[in-house]
Amino acid sequence: MIKPHAYQNMGKILDEVSAAGFEIAKLKMSKFNDASVKGFYAEHVGKGFFPQLSQAMSSDVCIGMELVRDDAVNKWREVIGPTNSAQAKAEKPGSIRAKYGVDQTLNAVHGADASVSHQREAEFWFGGQNPAARPMQTTAVMNNCSLLLIKPHIVKEGLAGQVIDLVLDAGFEISAMEMFNLSRPVVEEFFDVYKGVLPEYLPLIEHMSSGPLIALEVRQENVVNALRELCGPHDPEIAKHLRANTIRAKFGYDRVRNAVHCTDMPEDGCLEVQYFFRSLQKHQF
């Protein structure tokens, strides 16, 4: 879990996740309140440091992730380093908490300490087999927004963090984020407007339903047009010649695997965001 104070470094932390050999199976941005902090950190309620912990964790958004690899719990604990960031800087300077942490509370990330706690925490964040477990809610604002979809090939290649860095560095706010595995009918419904318009429509449908993608609600003044500028021309070859610093120029391969989808028309920004962060939520949960 990426903690609120590490928001601006979320892309770099996702890069660390990929570099350490983890697959991200689930990802969602959400926000704690007093009650959910007590539920997630139940073992710490009543301790002297809990008020400070509660205030820090409910101060802004977090990104919860379920990470997969052999011996994942222990490997993740190694990657993040000691709980106290000062100790991490001294003993494991290459760890995430050494690089992005401030102190024992603002230590950049959380990691489950055992398989049992992983199961409980994953159900708390995403829902699961336990009918009583309600997933943490989306942080989507659904106004003055645009949709950005990080396509499956970027997620698979572990490049999503670098794309997110470009978005944040350009001054955009990422106000909601979640990983989705879309079925072909859902992809066809969302991209129906391009049917008969894009010659690569069928390969696009195949690609967008081939694996997990990450959806982002992005906000800024004049956001739809500004985000389209950052993404660059639809064809990566044209982007590389005309707009070399854009996302598609840097990460795109062809007109299907062009790294990202972004909202085309200003009037569609909220509608596309609502499709992912409202309509699909009802189907998932």
CA of 218: how far to CAs of 141, 225, 262, 280, in Å?
A: 10, 12, 10, 18
Is residue 283 pLDDT above 60, yes or no? no
Phi and psi dihedrals of 162, rounded to 5?
A: -70, -35
Q: How far apart (Å, rounded) are the C-alpha atoms in residues 180 and 89? A: 35
Same domain (yes/no): 209, 96: no
Give CA 42 to chain center in angstroms: 25
Same domain (yes/no): 113, 157: no
> Does 236 reside within a domain?
yes
Domain C-terminal end among 91, 126, 161 = 126
DSSP secondary-structure letter at 9?
Answer: G
Structural domain boundaries enclosing 46: 4-126
* pLDDT value for 69: 96
State both tokens at 127: 């829902």
219: Cβ–Cβ under 8 A, 6 or more apart, which residues? 141, 144, 145, 146, 172, 173, 175
> Does 131 reside within a domain?
no
Same domain (yes/no): 157, 105: no
Is residue 259 pLDDT above 80, yes or no? yes
CA proximity to 268, closest of 203, 193, 200, 215? 193
Q: How far apart (Å, rounded) are the C-alpha atoms in residues 126 and 194? A: 32
Q: How far apart (Å, rounded) are the C-alpha atoms in residues 35 and 29? A: 17
DSSP H or E run through 259 = none
* pLDDT value for 271: 97
Same domain (yes/no): 181, 54: no
Local confidence band at 285 (pLDDT 50, 70, 90 cut-offs): very low
Share of residues in the chain with pLDDT > 70 (%): 96
> Does 109 reside within a domain?
yes
* pLDDT value for 135: 78
Same domain (yes/no): 112, 176: no
Same domain (yes/no): 22, 84: yes
Same domain (yes/no): 112, 194: no
> Does 208 reside within a domain?
yes
Q: How many residues does the chain have?
A: 285
CA of 101: how far to CAs of 29, 48, 105, 202, 254, in Å?
A: 19, 21, 9, 45, 38
Same domain (yes/no): 105, 149: no
Same domain (yes/no): 153, 118: no
Once rounded to an integer, what is the mean pLDDT over residues 183-200? Answer: 95
Mean pLDDT, the chain, whole residue set: 94
Instruction: Enumerate the active-site residues.
Output: 261
Please give the residue that has the higher pLDDT: either 29 or 136: 29
228: Cβ–Cβ under 8 A, 6 or more apart, which residues? 262, 263, 264
Q: What is the pTM of this model?
A: 0.95
| 262 in Cβ contact with 163 (< 8 Å) | no
pLDDT single digits (tens) 145-171? 999 999 999 999 999 999 999 999 999
| 80 in Cβ contact with 1 (< 8 Å) | no
> Does 108 reside within a domain?
yes
pLDDT single digits (tens) 21-40? 999 999 999 999 999 999 99
Q: How far apart (Å, rounded) are the C-alpha atoms in residues 135 and 277? A: 13
Same domain (yes/no): 197, 275: yes
Once rounded to an integer, what is the mean pLDDT over residues 73-89? Answer: 96
3-state secondary structure of 160: helix
pLDDT single digits (tens) 206-252? 999 999 999 999 999 999 999 999 999 999 999 999 999 999 999 99
Phi and psi dihedrals of 98, rounded to 5?
A: -70, -40
Q: What is the CATH number of the domain that holds 230?
A: 3.30.70.141
Local confidence band at 281 (pLDDT 50, 70, 90 cut-offs): confident
Please spell the DSSP secondary structure of 14-68, one letter per residue: HHHHHHTT-EEEEEEEEE--HHHHHHHTGGGTTSTTHHHHHHHHTSSEEEEEEEE
Please give the residue that has the higher pLDDT: either 137 or 219: 219
> Does 259 reside within a domain?
yes
| Biggest CA-to-CA distance, the chain | 63
Q: How many domains does one find in the chain?
A: 2
